């Protein structure tokens, strides 16, 4: 079962936030939350809030245990850009783009590893 959490219009560029989401891809949710607590970037705090929301959604809405949750997908997309202008020399203006991003985290329940057919040895 998949559980989703979405945070929209975060006031940070998607490029900066993606750097942190690459670190937590595929980790157990509880371990990723601990890792983000000590990660030295502003984006880590924003992602940890979204991850905590996803964990709470899984526990409350779907009765899943937080120890069994794994991050299936952590995606950051670009949000709307606020356009401003800075006065420049000789009466001209330079553009300023204040970028935003959308953070989406999808959790799944971990399944116990099953031995594959390659692991079994044939005795002939």
Task: Tell me what percent of the residues of the chain surpass a pLDDT of 90.
Answer: 87
For the chain, the distance separating the N- and C-terminal CA atoms, rounded to the nearest angstrom, is 41
pLDDT in tens, 41-56: 999 999 999 999 999 9
Average pLDDT over residues 17-42: 95
| All domains in the chain, ordered by first residue | 2-109 (3.90.470.10)
Say if CB 80 and CB 98 are below 8 A apart.
no
User: In angstroms, rounded to a whole number, what is the distance separating the alpha carbons of residues 52 and 60?
Assistant: 12
User: In angstroms, rounded to a whole number, what is the distance separating the alpha carbons of residues 75 and 105?
Assistant: 6
Residue 124 has pLDDT above 60, yes or no: no
């Amino acid at each position: 079962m998949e559980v989703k959490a979405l945070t929209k219009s975060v006031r940070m560029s998607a490029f900066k936030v993606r750097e942190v989401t690459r670190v937590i891809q595929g980790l157990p949710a509880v371990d990723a939350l601990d890792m983000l607590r000590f990660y030295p970037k502003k984006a880590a705090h924003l992602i940890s809030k979204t991850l905590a929301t996803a964990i709470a959604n899984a526990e409350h809405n779907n009765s899943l245990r937080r120890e069994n949750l794994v991050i299936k997908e952590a995606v950051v997309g670009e949000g709307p850009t606020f356009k401003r202008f800075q006065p420049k020399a000789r009466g001209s203006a330079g553009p300023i783009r204040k970028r935003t991003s959308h953070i989406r985290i999808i959790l799944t329940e971990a399944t116990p590893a099953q031995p594959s057919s390659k692991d079994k040895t044939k005795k002939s």
